Structure 1
Amino acid sequence: MKRKKITIFRTFNVLLSFLLVFSTFGSTTPLLADSADQPASVIEWDEELQEIDGFGGSFAFHKGGSIMRLDDPVRTQILDLLFSQEKGIGISIVRNMVGDGGIDDWGNEDYDGPSETIMPNPGEYVWDDPDWNKDEFDKYQIWIMNEAKKRGVETFLSTVWSPPAWMKQNNSVIDNGEGPNKLREDMYQQFAEYLADYVKGYKEHFDIDITHVSPANEPDLNTGYSSNVWTPDELNTFVRDYMGPTFEDRDIGTNIVLGEAMRFSEEYALPAINDPKTNKYVDVVAAHAYTGLQEGETTPDPDAFKRSNELGKTIWQTEYMNQGDNKQTFENNTITDGLRYANLIGNMFEVSGTNAYFWWWPAANNGADGSDLIRLVNDGSDQGIDPTENGLYRVFKRFYTFGNYSRFIQPGYVMLEANNPADDVKVTAYKDSATDNFTIVAVNNSVEDQTITFDLDNFPEDVNAVVPYRTSASENLKKLDSVNVNDNNFTMELRGSSVTSFIPEQFELPALPDMKDVFSTYLAAENDGQTSGLRVDNNKNGDKVITNVRDGSYIKYSNVNFADGSASGEADKRGILSMKAKVAPIAGGTIEVRLDDPYNGKIVGTMDVPRNGNPNDPITVSTMIDTNSTDGAYGFHDLYLVFTTENNSNRKMFNVSKFEFSDEVISPIEE
Structure 2
Amino acid sequence: MQRSRFLAPFAVSALALTAAVGAAPPGAAQAQTPEVVFTGDFESASVESWVSRGGVTLAASADQASSGEYSLRTTGRTSGWNGPAHNMLDIVEPLGVYEFKLDVRLLEGAADAPIQLTMQTTSESTGETTYNRIAGADVVTDDAWTTVTGEYTPPEPASQMQFYVESTDPTVSYYIDAVAITMLQPPPDVELPAEGTAAIDFGADHQRIDGFGFSQTFGRAEVMHGSQGLTPEHQREVLDLLLDTETGAGLSILRLGVFGIQPENPGGPDAEPDYIWDGEDFGQVWLAKEAQAYGVERFYADAWSAPGYMKTNDEAANGGELCGTPGTDCGGEDWREAYADYLVQYAKFYEEEGIGITDLGFTNEPDFTATYDSMRFTDAQITDFVKVMGPAIEESGLDMNLVCCDAAGWNRQIQYTNAIQADPDAARWVDIHSGHSYVSSARSPLPTDNTTWMSEYALASNVWNEAWDAGGSNSGLALANDIHDTLTRAEVNAYITWFGASLGTTAAPIQLDGADYHVSKRLWATAAYSRFIRPDAHRTEAATDAQLVKISAYRNADGSRVVNLINNRDTAVTLDLALTGAQAGETITTYRTDEEHALEATGQSTLTGPEAAVALAPRSVTTLVIEADDAVSCHARIEVVADWGSGWLGKAVVEAGDEPVDGWELAWDFTSDQRIRHLWNADWSQDGTTVTAADVGWNARIAAGASREVFGFLATGPAESVELAC
Q: TM-score, normalised by structure 2?
A: 0.55
Partner of 1:85: 245
**Is the deviation greater in 189-198 or in 281-290?**
189-198
Q: Runs of 5+ in structure 1 lacking a partner?
A: 1-13, 19-35, 102-115, 294-299, 378-388, 509-671
Partner of 2:601: 479
CA distance in 2, matches of 1:197, 1:119: 15
Are 2:337 and 1:189 equivalent residues in the alignment?
yes
Partner of 2:512: 376
Partner of 1:405: 529
Q: Runs of 5+ in structure 2 lacking a partner?
A: 1-23, 29-192, 326-333, 631-726
CA contact (8 A) 2:225 2:235 kept: yes
CA distance in 1, matches of 2:432, 2:213: 14
Matches within 5 A, 1:66-77: 66-69=223-226, 70-77=230-237
Are 2:310 and 1:162 equivalent residues in the alignment?
no
Q: 2:552 aligns with which of 428, 441, 451?
A: 428
CA contact (8 A) 2:405 2:434 kept: yes
Matches within 5 A, 1:628-647: none
CA contact (8 A) 1:156 1:212 kept: yes
Q: Tell me: CA distance 1:118–1:51, structure 2 relative to 1, closer, same or farther (3 Å).
A: farther
Amino acid at match of 2:291: A
Amino acid at match of 1:440: V
Are 2:395 and 1:249 equivalent residues in the alignment?
yes
Partner of 2:266: 121
Give a deviation string over 1:107-141, Cα, whole Å, max 9, x none.
xxxxxxxxx548763556566xxxx7744x41501
CA contact (8 A) 1:169 1:184 kept: no
Partner of 1:367: 504
Aligned CA-pair RMSD: 2.8
Partner of 2:13: none
CA distance in 2, matches of 1:333, 1:138: 37
Amino acid at match of 1:227: S
Matched position secondary structure for 2:614: strand
CA contact (8 A) 1:335 1:398 kept: no
CA contact (8 A) 1:334 1:397 kept: no
Q: Tell me: CA distance 1:314–1:397, structure 2 relative to 1, closer, same or farther (3 Å).
A: same
Amino acid at match of 2:620: S
Partner of 2:405: 259
Matched position secondary structure for 1:369: coil
Q: Tell me: CA distance 1:139–1:414, structure 2 relative to 1, closer, same or farther (3 Å).
A: same
Give a deviation string over 1:246-287, Cα, whole Å, max 9, x none.
222333321011021111232223211221111121111100
Partner of 1:199: 347
Q: Tell me: CA distance 1:504–1:331, structure 2 relative to 1, closer, same or farther (3 Å).
A: closer
Q: Tell me: CA distance 1:75–1:37, structure 2 relative to 1, closer, same or farther (3 Å).
A: closer
More helix by proportion, 1 or 2? 1
Amino acid at match of 2:225: M
After TM superposition, give the deviation of residue 289 of structure 1 in Å: 0.3
CA distance in 1, matches of 2:202, 2:308: 52
Q: Tell me: CA distance 1:507–1:194, structure 2 relative to 1, closer, same or farther (3 Å).
A: farther
Amino acid at match of 1:61: F
The structure whose RCO (Cα within 8 Å, separation 6+) is larger is: 2
After TM superposition, give the deviation of residue 436 of structure 1 in Å: 1.3
Partner of 1:464: 586
CA distance in 1, matches of 2:262, 2:591: 43
Matched position secondary structure for 1:152: coil
CA distance in 1, matches of 2:357, 2:384: 23
CA contact (8 A) 2:584 2:606 kept: no
CA distance in 1, matches of 2:262, 2:573: 54
CA distance in 2, matches of 1:399, 1:247: 35
After TM superposition, give the deviation of residue 49 of structure 1 in Å: 0.8
Partner of 2:722: none
Q: Tell me: CA distance 1:453–1:16, structure 2 relative to 1, closer, same or farther (3 Å).
A: closer
After TM superposition, give the deviation of residue 462 of structure 1 in Å: 5.5
Q: Tell me: CA distance 1:463–1:63, structure 2 relative to 1, closer, same or farther (3 Å).
A: farther
Amino acid at match of 1:450: V
Give a deviation string over 1:320-351, Cα, whole Å, max 9, x none.
112354x6667688496212221211121111
Partner of 2:571: 448
Give a deviation string over 1:339-374, Cα, whole Å, max 9, x none.
22212111211111111001100112x23232x110
CA distance in 2, matches of 1:495, 1:54: 27
Give a deviation string over 1:384-434, Cα, whole Å, max 9, x none.
xxxxx2x221111111111100111010000100002312111100002x4
CA distance in 1, matches of 2:296, 2:302: 17
After TM superposition, give the deviation of residue 232 of structure 1 in Å: 1.8
CA distance in 1, matches of 2:293, 2:25: 52
Partner of 2:641: none
Q: 2:490 aligns with which of 352, 355, 367?
A: 352
CA distance in 2, matches of 1:489, 1:421: 16
CA contact (8 A) 1:174 1:181 kept: no
After TM superposition, give the deviation of residue 166 of structure 1 in Å: 1.8
CA distance in 1, matches of 2:244, 2:252: 9
Q: Tell me: CA distance 1:362–1:463, structure 2 relative to 1, closer, same or farther (3 Å).
A: farther
Q: 1:210 aligns with which of 348, 357, 375?
A: 357
Give a deviation string over 1:430-474, Cα, whole Å, max 9, x none.
002x42111111101101111112211133x36533111111111
Q: Tell me: CA distance 1:162–1:200, structure 2 relative to 1, closer, same or farther (3 Å).
A: same
Q: Tell me: CA distance 1:193–1:301, structure 2 relative to 1, closer, same or farther (3 Å).
A: same
CA contact (8 A) 1:118 1:198 kept: no
CA distance in 1, matches of 2:455, 2:26: 43
Partner of 1:644: none
CA contact (8 A) 1:404 1:477 kept: yes
Are 2:383 and 1:236 equivalent residues in the alignment?
yes
CA contact (8 A) 1:334 1:398 kept: no
Partner of 1:322: 459
CA distance in 1, matches of 2:339, 2:234: 40
Q: Tell me: CA distance 1:126–1:396, structure 2 relative to 1, closer, same or farther (3 Å).
A: farther
After TM superposition, give the deviation of residue 483 of structure 1 in Å: 3.2
CA contact (8 A) 1:453 1:492 kept: yes
CA contact (8 A) 1:217 1:227 kept: yes
More strand by proportion, 1 or 2? 2
After TM superposition, give the deviation of residue 38 of structure 1 in Å: 4.9
CA contact (8 A) 1:289 1:317 kept: yes
Partner of 1:534: none
Partner of 1:138: 281
CA distance in 2, matches of 1:164, 1:53: 31
Q: TM-score, normalised by structure 1?
A: 0.60
CA distance in 2, matches of 1:333, 1:198: 42
Are 2:317 and 1:174 equivalent residues in the alignment?
yes
